[in-house]
Structure formats: C-alpha cells, structure tokens
Amino acid sequence: MPKIVATDTDFGDTAFERKMVEAAGIEFAAYDGERARTPEEIIEHLRGADGAITSYGSFTPEVFAALPDLKVVSKTGTGVDNIAVDAATANGTAVCNVPGYGTEVVSDHAITLALCVLRRVNELDADLRGGIWDFHRRQPLGQASGRTFGVVGYGNIGRATARKARGLGFRVIVWDRRGIAGRATPEGFPYATLDELLAVSDVVSFHTALTPETHHLLSAERIATMKPDAVVVNTSRGAVVDTDALAAALAEGRLWGAGIDVFEEEPVSPDAPICRAPHTVLTAHAAYWSEESAVELRARCAQNAIDVVLGRRPENCVNPQVLAEDAPA
C-alpha cells in the first residue's frame, strides 16, 4: 500500500488529512505534537514513504538524495522557498503547492493593515485602555480617499487587493514584472515602474513571490526614495522587504508607518528592530488564515499528494516535467 506522511502541520492535528488520504486507499502517518522540519528529521520520518505533506519543512537537496523513491512533496501554501525544487526535479519528485487559496483573506488582511496604520488604530486602542481619551496625541490620522495605493505584484492576491483599495477610495497603481509601464491592467489600473510607484504611493503593499530577484525588493536604497508619509504593508514573504532597513526608517521618522504580517525569520524575536519600531501593526503570519480558507488549503494540498501517489495529474505542480505525460487528470 502506498504511504503519505505529514512531516509537520500548521493546524494543530492532521485528522483532516488522514481522513482524505485513507479514503483514497493510501496509508497515512503523521507526527502530531512533533514538527519534523529539519532535513535530518524529515529523512528519518519519510523513509519508505511515497509522498509528503508539509507546511514549513526544510526539504534540502540532501533530503531528496536520501529519499530517491519519494514521489511528491505537497506544500500547504503557495510559496515553495523551503523546498529545493531543482533537486526534487532531478530526483523525479513532484513539488505541489496551493496557489490562490487565500486570495480573499490575504487581501482583506493587507487592506486591514493599511487602514489600521493610517488610522493609528492600535495606538488609539492602547491609549483608551490606559485611560487616555485624546486622539489628538496620535495625529496625524489618515484616510483612504485622496491617497495613492501601490500594489507590488499583480497575481490573484494583488488583483483582489487593488480592487478592494479602489472600492475604499484609493487611487491604485500597479507594478508587476510582466506589466508594461504606461499601460493598464484589464481592470483599468495603470502600470508603473517600481521606482515610479515607490515615489508617488502613500501605501505600498507587497504581493510578490520570494525569488532571488525579489529578495529585499524593498531595500534601504528604495526606502529612501519613498514619501516621508508613506505606509509599507507586507503580506507576501518576509525577505521581500529589508525589514531592518524598514525599522530604521520608521525609527528615524522617514515613513508614516508599516503593517507587517511576514518576517525574514519566523517566529520573529520580540527584540528584533521591527518590534521596537514606532507606528507599526504586526501580526504573526496570520494573513492567510480564516476558517474558510484553512479548509480549502488543507483539502487541495492533500488532494495534490493523493493524485501524484496514485499516478494522476495534480491540480498544481511547480515542476510538471516530472509527471508522466499520460497521467490522467
């Protein structure tokens, strides 16, 4: 009987995945209460398995070298930067992900962070709880209307964020590596170069994947070109933004504020500069989570693993060249 192993989970237990996998006639194993995230732990737990389900496991080239019969690694999420895709491909292992599962909730979260920072909601809340009834001490307070909202990365989540920002009264502009400055998206949002977007935007919201090209896409040098009353929002990947440079700019009063859900190291240390920076709203990589989106994410991830193990073509595979050409959908 084929076997799928959940090396780690972001959901407390794996009863949901177990039910799906066993219903497909596949043996299931998990290590609830443990998190097999290091290469050594993953290798130990996956010996003899045909497939793996993971959230944050470090699937290095050494993992694939030690597991030549592994058919699939299915990620509960979109980004696969924790998986050595080239090594998986060389090993004949399919790498599956779940793009687009959190479009609505992540875009909701990005808009929420932007508004909370503009309105200083967390600071006003802390004052009130401390017996201070005086919003003037937290001025300036901003609004959506009359401001420009820059969307960096125009995939499903960036598109949804742009739509919601426009609905609130923001003027929206977009940068995307596939966009051409001077033209517009199908929804009518103008494309700009990244430098142009950073120079004119009052809110800059990041929705791009983490690649070598996008590492520290918002660098210290680019932060220096932004408006002094700009807000930075990041719900994509932590390392897309040079978070220490962002914290320094906030500490020096060179930005209005920042709303950050993702960090270069997670969990972020409470002693990290960004945690001490003023005018910030910080959340613990929570943007993707709602009760509704979690069910969709888990189901699609498990189904990807099931399909590959049973010789079928999965919904999403980032290295489809490893799949059999005649694999049924």
Q: Are 45 and 36 in contact (CB under 8 A)?
A: yes
pLDDT tens figures, 110-160: 999 999 999 999 999 999 999 999 999 999 999 999 999 999 999 999 999
Per-residue confidence (pLDDT) for residue 37, from 0 to 100: 85
Q: State yes or no: pLDDT of 253 exceeds 60.
A: yes
Per-residue confidence (pLDDT) for residue 148, from 0 to 100: 98
Higher pLDDT, 172 or 32: 172
Q: State yes or no: pLDDT of 94 exceeds 60.
A: yes
Domain borders along the chain are: 3-101+291-322, 103-282
pLDDT tens figures, 300-314: 999 999 999 999 999
Partners of 29 in the β-ladder: 5
pLDDT tens figures, 13-47: 899 999 999 999 999 999 755 677 899 999 999 99
Partners of 206 in the β-ladder: 152, 234
Q: State yes or no: pLDDT of 326 exceeds 80.
A: no
CATH topology of domain 103-282: Rossmann fold (3.40.50)
Catalytic residue numbers, as ranges: 237, 266, 285
Structure-token match 């990807």, residue found? 304
Q: Are 223 and 249 in contact (CB under 8 A)?
A: yes
pLDDT tens figures, 220-248: 999 999 999 999 999 999 999 999 999 99
Per-residue confidence (pLDDT) for residue 36, from 0 to 100: 73
Non-local (6+) Cβ contacts of 124 within 8 A are 135, 138
Per-residue confidence (pLDDT) for residue 33, from 0 to 100: 58
pLDDT tens figures, 51-76: 999 998 999 999 999 999 999 999 99
Q: State yes or no: pLDDT of 79 exceeds 90.
A: no
Burial 116-131 (b: 16+ CB within 10 A, else e): bbbbbebbbeebeeee
H helices within 77-141, ranges in order? 85-91, 103-119, 121-129
Per-residue confidence (pLDDT) for residue 32, from 0 to 100: 56
When pLDDT is cut at 50, 70 and 90, the band that residue 108 belongs to is very high
**CATH number for domain 3-101+291-322, candidates 3.30.70.260, 1.10.260.40, 3.40.50.720, 3.40.30.10:** 3.40.50.720
Across the range 317-321, mean pLDDT stands at 97
Q: Given this chain, do its domains 3-101+291-322 and 103-282 carry the same CATH topology?
A: yes
Across the range 5-14, mean pLDDT stands at 90
Per-residue confidence (pLDDT) for residue 110, from 0 to 100: 98
When pLDDT is cut at 50, 70 and 90, the band that residue 327 belongs to is confident
When pLDDT is cut at 50, 70 and 90, the band that residue 12 belongs to is confident
Q: Are 105 and 291 in contact (CB under 8 A)?
A: no
Share of the chain above pLDDT 90, in %: 91
